[in-house]
Amino acid sequence: MPDSVTFIGKSAFYLCKALASIIISVSLMSIEKDTFSTCTSLASITIPESVRSFGLHAFGECSCLETVFVPEGLGYPPNAFPDGMTINAY
């Protein structure tokens, strides 16, 4: 993702089942509702410190998601990630 990206819109990658990995731009400020929902091949994600807002189900139903890193103190909805997911703060 280019550094010029500051916002990813609602459902931008919804049902993108072939998406296995993504490097999120350090300039990203917002991840909207359902942005990566049902990306069933996505295995890991690191949310940059620049992100200030998180939408509902942003990574919902990402059944292969094993590792999530979020900046310490970043608030996100309880359903932003799959149920039972361990969230690692950095």
- Buried (b) or exposed (e) across 35-52, using 16+ Cβ within 10 A? bbbbbeebeebebbeebe
What pTM value is reported for the model?
0.89
What is the C-alpha to C-alpha distance for residues 80 and 34, in angstroms, rounded to an integer? 8
Q: Is the pLDDT of residue 78 over 90?
A: no
For residue 20, name the pLDDT band (cuts at 50, 70, 90).
Answer: very high
Tokens 């909207």 identify what position?
32
Q: Is the pLDDT of residue 1 over 90?
A: no
Q: Is the pLDDT of residue 85 over 90?
A: no
Q: Is the pLDDT of residue 56 over 90?
A: yes
Instruction: Tell me the chain's radius of gyration from C-alpha atoms.
Output: 12
Q: Is the pLDDT of residue 43 over 90?
A: yes
Contact 87, 68 (CB under 8 A): yes
